[in-house]
Amino acid sequence: MARRPLPRILSHGGAQLARSRELARTAADSATDILYPLIMITRGLRRLASAGLRRWTDTPKDKRGALLFLVASVVLVVAIVPYGPLLAVITLMAVAAWQGRDRAPSEPDGPDDSQTQRLKSLYEALVPYFSAAEDPAPLYAHGGEWEKAFPAYEFDATGRIAHLVISYPAYFPDGEAESRARIQHLLTAKSGRGREYHFAWDEESNQLTVTVLAPLPSDICAQRYVTAPGETVLGFTDPTQVQRTLPLTHGEEQRDVPPVVWRTGIRSTEPHLLALGQPGSGTSTLLRSIALQALQHGDVVVVDGGGTGEYACLTGRDGVLAVECGLAGALTSLEWAAHETERRLIAANRAHQAGHPPPDDTRRPLWILLDRPSAFTHLAAADGHKDPQSLLQVPLRHGRPANVTVVIADQLDSLDVLSDPVRQHTRARVALGPVTAQQLEAVLGAPPNTTPLDAVPPGRGYARLGTGPVHRIQVPATPNPYDEATGEIHRQAVLELLPPRTTPADAATERQGPDPAEAAAQAEPVTAEAAAAAGAEPVTAEAAVAAEPQ
């Protein structure tokens, strides 16, 4: 069968179709220019009609009759006056044209003189870092064209850079942290100090995007968060860093804020937390916030090395096993916690071997919160006692399968005093207060993508969970409600979250920790005699973890 040729319009009409579309587009543009006055008047009449309808709707029903009478009187007067209707139509068209004009402000085609000078100076400052003598066509050269180096830029109301995209040559070592740090320091100094900048390096496209970050909200009080069991809100961060928001209450307002959520439990990859900061940076506030959230589903043991009574509001509360401020009480509580961790491991291991679920008392989370344990280290060395940090080895190493979580807060200059198990097993890290980039890298294990500030509000810092990204963080305000400097709003917010008091205050003061006899009783299941009496071989914590199914 012979093939029929395509119609000429389909085989040779591509150019004619393109020409026809261009003519149609030109005719439409010309018609728009000609009919623009009519379009503007029509738009104005529509706006006037909408305004009149809104005025009629907003008028109370008992006053609509008077308004209708006034409009009818004006229409009657206009109709009687000579040339009244004609003047009314002309006036109406003029008002409609004025209301229908394009109100969008005309944007300038480019930066003004001051902005151009700022971009030029920034370009000249980058020349020594982004140029090479062997480059035949350098993108950066003294007196060169900055327009090619900065393809996109934005300025704020004060005339400073708010967003900037920088193109750099491919031979720049953007994979080296030191080279990046030099460029980030230079951009921070030239773009304006006192602000936080986020640096996004696109190594494939050889582009650096600089964005000015808005301050994190510091007016969020402690409250109940919509989280699942095993989730703890450490603070709040930028909306571009996380894919989740939490509904929060601020006075009578409701707003959604992105949180930094730390997941604990047997499936957690970062079961323990270390928070460091300068005095007054908010580490105690973070511990109080964690304690109030942990008491919803578990038990808490608090060891306060500062001895300032920051956790007195927790004494005697339901779920609070101890609040210790002295060395003897801290040693007793931590020794009990180590034995409790071993007991849980052995009980869970026996249940697994028998084919039963773990006992209920091993599934309830146990939180060990320590504030400034380095103070006890110096005290124990002076008195010849055991370092309390040595008792944390079992909870830190085997706490995850036993539902035991350790949270430690200390000062930034005490990082070297912390023991090796503490530094090794606390993979969730928080650094609060004014810190340098070098200190952040030492604490978090990675430098942040933003520039730290010299002055920050309490509770402001950075957080990193394991090997994840570094987040900016603002800890919710959770002050000591018994402090006279605490505001009434924050005091009531914390008091409403406290569980009911189950132990009288006097009894709680006399006995703020587990009794040594109770600690010895709790330690009986891990001894060889107790194991032999139960008809089983002695089981250690390491053997229990090794025998536990993966």
Q: Is 114 annotated as a binding residue?
A: no
Backbone φ and ψ of 117, nearest 5°: -65, -35
What would the two tokens of residue 241 be?
A: 């860093």
Which has the closest alpha carbon to 272: 424, 153, 120, 124? 424
Read off the amino acid at residue 449: N
Residues 352-410: tens digit of each pLDDT: 999 999 998 899 999 999 999 999 988 888 888 889 999 999 999 999 999 999 999 99
Q: Is 50 annotated as a binding residue?
A: no
Integer Cα distance of 542 and 535 in angstroms: 20
Q: Where are the beta strands (DSSP E) in 237-304?
A: 246-250, 253-257, 259-263, 273-277, 299-304
Backbone φ and ψ of 535, nearest 5°: 80, 25
Contacts for 31-39: CB closer than 8 Å, 24+ residues apart: 37/97, 39/100
Q: Is 179 annotated as a binding residue?
A: no
Residues 462-505: tens digit of each pLDDT: 999 999 999 999 999 999 999 988 889 999 999 999 999 886 54
Q: What is the structure's pLDDT at 533?
A: 34
Q: Is 281 annotated as a binding residue?
A: yes
Backbone φ and ψ of 324, nearest 5°: -105, 140
Which has the closest alpha carbon to 196: 440, 430, 452, 464? 452
What would the two tokens of residue 445 be?
A: 């294990």
Which residues have a Cβ under 8 Å from the Cβ of 511 and sit 6 or more positions away?
Answer: none
Q: What is the structure's pLDDT at 544?
A: 44
Integer Cα distance of 391 and 377 in angstroms: 12
Residues 316-352: tens digit of each pLDDT: 999 999 999 999 999 999 999 999 999 999 999 999 9
Q: DSSP letters along 361-408, please? A: HHHS-EEEEEE-HHHHHHHHHHHTPPPGGGGGHHHHHHTTTTTEEEEE
Q: Does an H or E element contain 176, and which?
A: none
What confidence tier does 103 reach under pLDDT thresholds 50, 70, 90?
low
Residues 167-185: tens digit of each pLDDT: 999 999 998 888 998 999 8
Whether the CB-CB separation of 221 and 489 falls below 8 Å is answered with yes
What confidence tier does 78 reach under pLDDT thresholds 50, 70, 90?
confident
Q: DSSP letters along 291-346, please? A: HHHHTTTSEEEEEESS-S-TTGGGTTBTTEEEEE-SHHHHHHHHHHHHHHHHHHHH
Q: What is the structure's pLDDT at 74?
A: 84
Q: What is the structure's pLDDT at 539?
A: 44
Average pLDDT over residues 262-266: 92
Whether the CB-CB separation of 261 and 231 falls below 8 Å is answered with yes
Per-chain mean pLDDT for the chain: 83
Whether the CB-CB separation of 314 and 335 falls below 8 Å is answered with no
pLDDT at 519 over 70: no
Whether the CB-CB separation of 493 and 462 falls below 8 Å is answered with no
Average pLDDT over residues 248-265: 87
Q: Is 82 annotated as a binding residue?
A: no
Average pLDDT over residues 221-240: 92
Least confident of 132-141, 187-196, 280-289, 530-539: 530-539
Angle at 445 between CA 442 and CA 449, to 5 degrees: 100
What confidence tier does 104 reach under pLDDT thresholds 50, 70, 90?
low
Q: Is 282 annotated as a binding residue?
A: yes
Backbone φ and ψ of 225, nearest 5°: -110, 150
Q: Map out the domains of the chain with their CATH numbers.
A: 113-213 (3.30.980), 231-514 (3.40.50.300)
pLDDT at 12 over 70: no
Do the bridges between strand 471-474 and strand 366-371 make them parallel or antiparallel, or are there none, so unpaired? unpaired
What confidence tier does 18 reach under pLDDT thresholds 50, 70, 90?
low
Whether the CB-CB separation of 241 and 469 falls below 8 Å is answered with yes
Task: Tell me how far the alpha carbon of residue 42 is from its chain's centroid.
Answer: 49
Q: What is the dihedral of CA 200, 238, 161, 112, to 10 degrees?
A: 110
Per residue, the 3-state secondary structure of 49-98, as one string, reads HHHHHHHHHHCCHHHHHHHHHHHHHHHHHHHHCCCHHHHHHHHHHHHHHH
Q: Is 283 annotated as a binding residue?
A: yes
pLDDT at 35 over 80: no
Q: Is 237 annotated as a binding residue?
A: no
